[in-house]
Amino acid sequence: MSTEIEIEFKNMVTHDEFLRINQHFSLKNSDFISQENHYFDTKLFSLKKNNCALRIRRKNNRYELTLKQPAEIGLIETNEIINSEVCNQILSNGILPDGEVKMKLMQSNLPFEDISCFGTLTTNRAEIKYLGGLLVFDHSFYLKKEDFEIEYEVTDREIGKKHFIALMDQLNIPIRETNNKILRFYNEALKQKQTSEEEK
């Protein structure tokens, strides 16, 4: 169990840009590991309305329950290791185990009694250390869609921002406004729902 401040920079990239940056850092297919993110919220998306996110990540048969909450700088990330049985329990009935994540939700007066999984996103991810931070290469699949993203996780916001912008500039990749994965998933689900209703 851990609580940490998450400071990261994100940039959506095209497929060609993703290949270019992979070649720049000599990444191979074997460097990428698949992981699943199961996203949770209430029926009224109360967590999203409070700029929070709740997920279970499965990676290498390891399960981690994570709550992200806004902080003065970055996000407060509370992580809790769970087993497959607890994961299946949360997926099937939305009941959270007693622990730090549940306690944080209660302390913040965030509703969680009717949470349920509203979708799963799969990411092929590679990570390398870069100038005192962690550079992350993500190829994600969700709702019959795929996208490509570069993340840079750092401990110092100002220094990290300079390094990230310099790298994108070096590779001739424009900085784009980039939502986090859970919001991209939510927006795509809403878009597809509206399209489906219009076609009826």
Look at 2-11, 51-60, 98-107, 137-146 and tell me which has the smallest mean pLDDT.
Answer: 2-11
- What single-letter DSSP state applies at residue 58? E
Res 196: pLDDT: 81
Res 26: pLDDT: 98
**3 or 79, which is more confident:** 79
| pTM confidence score | 0.91
Q: Say if residue 73's pLDDT is above 90.
A: no
- What single-letter DSSP state applies at residue 84? H
* pLDDT averaged over every residue in the chain: 95
Res 1: pLDDT: 59
Residue with tokens 């986090």, as numbered in its chain: 180
Look at 25-29, 78-82, 113-117, 188-192 and tell me which has the smallest mean pLDDT.
Answer: 188-192
User: In the chain, where are the structural domains located?
Assistant: 2-199
Query: What is the b/e burial string over 19-34, where b = at least 16 CB atoms within 10 angstroms of the residue's CB?
Result: eebbeeeebeeeebee
Res 2: pLDDT: 76
Q: Say if residue 197's pLDDT is above 90.
A: no
- The residue type of 156 is D
In percent, the amount of the chain with pLDDT more than 90 equals 87
Compute the average pLDDT of residues 87-115. 94
For the domain bounded by 2-199, which CATH number is listed?
2.40.320.10
Phi-psi label, residue 144: left if phi above 0, alpha if psi -120 to 50, beta otherwise: left
In percent, the amount of the chain with pLDDT more than 70 equals 99
Tokens of 199: 């076609």
Supply the DSSP string of 98-143, one letter for each residue: SSHHHHHHHHTT---TT-EEEEEEEEEEEEEEETTEEEEEEEEEET
Q: 4: pLDDT confidence band, cut at 50, 70 and 90?
A: confident
pLDDT digits (tens, 9 = 90+) for 123-181: 999 999 999 999 999 999 999 999 999 999 999 999 999 999 999 999 999 999 999 99
CA gap 65, 95 in Å, rounded: 12
